[in-house]
Structure 1
């Protein structure tokens, strides 16, 4: 079931994606790309991107 999104939800997701991406890059540079923290952030980022993409499809 597709649910229409509101602009605030979309904006919040974009902000979260940008924040998580920056944190993941910093963590990857400091702890390595294979560190548990980097991989966890990568998975979280994937989830947020998937949510954003599903919202885009409801246009």
Structure 2
């Protein structure tokens, strides 16, 4: 179980998640509005993956 806890996604996995979340964010925002809780939750998830990517590449 501890190996799952320490799992670090690869650069490719992070990029894939960013792309998928970005698409989902756009679709949800158009359907439910930019202030909906679903849109905000997706946006926050996307922020985390962008942060991971930046941290991985020391862009921050």
Shorter-chain TM-score bucket reads: 0.7 to 0.9
- Name the counterpart of 2:56: 55
Q: CA RMSD in A?
A: 1.5
Which stretches of structure 1, 4 residues or longer, exceed 4 Å deviation after superposition? none
Q: Which runs of 5+ in 2 are unaligned?
A: 1-8
The count of corresponding residues between Structure 1 and Structure 2 is 51
In 2, Cα distance between equivalents of 1:51 and 1:10: 9
- Name the counterpart of 1:40: 41
Question: TM-score of the superposition, structure 2-length normalised?
Answer: 0.81
Q: Which runs of 5+ in 1 are unaligned?
A: 1-7
